[in-house]
Each structure stands twice: as C-alpha cells, then as structure tokens.
Amino acid sequence: MPETDHAALNFLLSRRSRPAKTLAMPVPDRTALEQILTAAARTPDHGKLEPWRFIVIEKAAMPRLADLAGTRGKVLGLDDEQVEKGRSQFDMGHLAIAVIEVHVPSPNIPPLEQTYSAGAVCLSLLNAALAAGWGANWLSGWPSHDRVFMQEAFGLKDNERIAGLIHVGTETSAPPDRPRPDIAAKTTWLSE
C-alpha cells in the first residue's frame, strides 16, 4: 500500500483560487516566483516537447495592457461592460504570469495534447502559488483569445496563444467555498 502524503492531499482537497480583484501587494519577488515557475514546469510535458513558455507581467506593464485591451475591445465592437471586463484584470493587476501555449510540429504529439500540457502548466502554476502562501487566480477572457491583442501585448508568433493569465498577489480576503461537483454523478465505474 502506498504511503499517503497527507499534507499534499489535504492541500488539493481544500485548495481554492482567490478572486483576482482581491489580490494586493506585495507580490512574490523574482526568487520566490522562480520557485513557483519551477514547480509549475514539472507538469506532464507530452513527449518532452515543453509546448509552453512563461511571460511574467509586472505592475509597470499593466497600464499598457489595460489600454490595449480597452482599444481592442472598442475596435471589436464590444459593449462597454465587455470592454471594461477585458481591461479590468490589467487595471487591477499587480503581477501575472501569461502561460503561452507554443504549438510544436510533431509527428507523435498531436496539437490537442500540447494544449492539454499548457493547461496543466496553468493549473500547476496556480497550485504552486497557492501552496507557497500567495493568493492566485487563473483568468482568460476575450483578450486572451484575440489574436491582435496577443501579438501587440506579448509579441506572440502565429504558433503561440495564451493558455491562461495567472494573477498572483497577497490575499486580502478569503472567499467562501463554492458548491463542488457531485463526484457520484460525474463518475462512471467500469468493472469488466
């Protein structure tokens, strides 16, 4: 029988993202952030391709990204509420890590599995930040799917896209837990 890592299991059973709008200063310094990134990079990488990379967005870069999101939202014809929602994560952000999916041509690893790997990095990064004692939240939103925003904000190439924006900071209030999935309703057991 394997030995249970009770601390790790308890963390996973009780982990809870912190709303990005409730995150404040201070944020992790580079040394602390490098440890979090190192933990996140230990994700399944599907054939050692490592089909992702990180862009650390510091506080000084947030106003430029907020303005770009505002401009792009208007160009796209979004309503005021959608524009504000797209720019607000940058207006309120103190530190975020953009996880960039990098599609690598491979005869063995299909693009969808590379997408799964980038998603796994996002969750690993979120969990690593939470385990390190920080508040963290994984966001996306329309700017993350707008090709022009991706290129102008981060210089992404045609084979790259944003998998997620992980905001990290100091938790200012603990959110209430939310209803969780009914595992019995979500699980099918095959016994033969």
Average pLDDT for the chain? 95
- Residues making up the annotated binding site for FMN are 15-17, 42, 46, 138-140
Q: What average pLDDT does the segment 145-150 reach?
A: 98
What is the Cα–Cα distance from 77 to 101, expressed in whole angstroms? Answer: 27
**Overall size of the chain counted in residues:** 192
pLDDT at 72 over 90: yes
pLDDT at 15 over 70: yes
Q: What average pLDDT does the segment 36-57 reach?
A: 90
**pLDDT tens digits for 51-68?**
999 999 999 999 999 999
Which residue would you say has higher pLDDT here, 1 or 143?
143
| pTM (2 d.p.) | 0.94
What is the Cα–Cα distance from 52 to 149, expressed in whole angstroms? Answer: 18
φ/ψ of residue 44, rounded to 5: -60, 130
- CATH for 20-58+94-172? 3.40.109.10
Which residue shows structure tokens 């996140």?
40
pLDDT at 50 over 90: yes
- 117 pLDDT band (50/70/90 cuts)? very high
What is the Cα–Cα distance from 92 to 87, expressed in whole angstroms? Answer: 9
Show me where the domains of the chain are located: 20-58+94-172
User: Chain-centre distance of CA 99, in angstroms?
Assistant: 6
Q: What average pLDDT does the segment 32-42 reach?
A: 97
pLDDT value at position 176? 83
φ/ψ of residue 168, rounded to 5: -135, 140
pLDDT value at position 177? 85
Please report the beta strands in 11-134, taking only residues with DSSP state E, as ranges in sequence order: 23-24, 52-58, 95-102
pLDDT at 174 over 90: no
Contact by Cβ (8 Å): 154, 96: no
pLDDT at 44 over 80: no
- Residues making up the annotated binding site are 15-17, 42, 46, 138-140
pLDDT value at position 48? 83
What is the Cα–Cα distance from 135 to 23, expressed in whole angstroms? Answer: 6
Q: What average pLDDT does the segment 65-81 reach?
A: 98
pLDDT value at position 46? 66
